[in-house]
Chains A and B, each alone.
Chain A
Amino acid sequence: MIEVIKDWCKGCDICVRRCPVHALETSDELNKRGVYPPKLKEENECNYCRLCELLCPDFAITVVAEERKEESKSGLIIGGVANEV
């Protein structure tokens, strides 16, 4: 599971391009800046390595391991993309 603070995303796509297991893709929903934030693919092999979280220059991504989903602070997680946190 990844949570994205969508309006902090500037659309650099680093997370999408650098994911070691190609688990991410750009979503089709424009944010306030006019870019498409990332989301997890429907089918993905995310292993919670957290590289996308570390490589995001804009503090926009949080990787949440499945077992920790309950504790996640942000609600409204839709299709792997959280609304504004």
Chain B
Amino acid sequence: MKYERDPVRIRKVLGEKVQFIQGDMAVAYGGLLSGVSFFGGYPITPASEVAEGMARLLPRVGGCFIQMEDEIASIAAVIGAAWGGAKAMTATSGPGFSLMMENYGYAIMTETPCVIANVQRTGPSTGQPTLGAQGDMMQVRWGTHGDMEAIAYAPSTVQECLDMTIDSFNLSEKYRHPVCLMTDGEVGHLREKVVIPEEEEMPLIERVEATTDKETFLPFAESPTTGSKVPDFPTFGSGYRTYVTGLTHNDKGFPKTDKQPDHERLVMRIITKITDDREEMTDVEEIELEDAEVAFVTYGASARPAESAVAMARAKGIKAGMLRMKLCWPFPRHIVNKVSKQVDKIIVPEMNLGQMYHPIVEYSDPGCEIVLAPKIGGEMHLPQELLEMLEVS
């Protein structure tokens, strides 16, 4: 049977409006609320609870959950489902995310809306499966071969796991692009209060379905209905008889692989449809930044001890602030640059040996000192450690 989103049934299945749940479960909730009708996933710590939640919830709203044979199949089935007309998602962690890289590129090249939740852990390789890290912030941007732009959220709380899953779907549908929700083992396994939003509190964006003449429709060109660089979507079965390929293709979708301008034109449209809207989609939180002289620029789980450190520093009279990037990619370069012009020093706490640190350095004012505060091994920064870094400023 074909899925139809039923907001009343979804909320009934989710239960109480206010709940105390894990971050991973909140991702599943967010997916359900967004209208996900297909989830393909493979067990992996610390992301398995997303799949478990979906396996339990999705059939009760008429959606389809399949535990696929691996992560490659998971993302493949998700992309297939998207072309079949579904909002589709998968969830994984570092090793699975690495396996998904080829088809992640395929989703980008074929402009397929879908969501990948990556409950990050450390690496290289199997690393520390049960412990969180921010190991894939660069992989999401550069991990697949070739040139592309990424769209990636980084939630810091369980509530944000839910909300940003909905945001991820909205951007994914809007830009016909795979969106990654870069949560981590800390937030994923954290239990906190969440409030399930009412329907009117969570506007949903849906892909623009192709409606124009079937003979002349171009599935990989600027939209004839909106004028946007994002093409209208010819769902399979709607009679457009679309050919979709990961090869460099023309506006019609057919392979066109031998000429430099064809490739450049296609790839540049796919990139600029996102980067043109960089400022519009920017999603950051500014904490105590107005008069700050030193600031953290961070994201995800690392923002939690950083925020505590800011409060402790303020209590001691240190003019500290924080910029939290909720949407890490496309990189909010204009905001980071503005902050770097205001403060003397930016400190970048990350649960890795420096990933988002690099674009922060790249786009900051040369007069601003940028200091990395790395931490690996599956432990979060302590607020005290970060406070000490503020104190030496």
Answer yes or no: A and B touching, Cβ < 8 Å: no
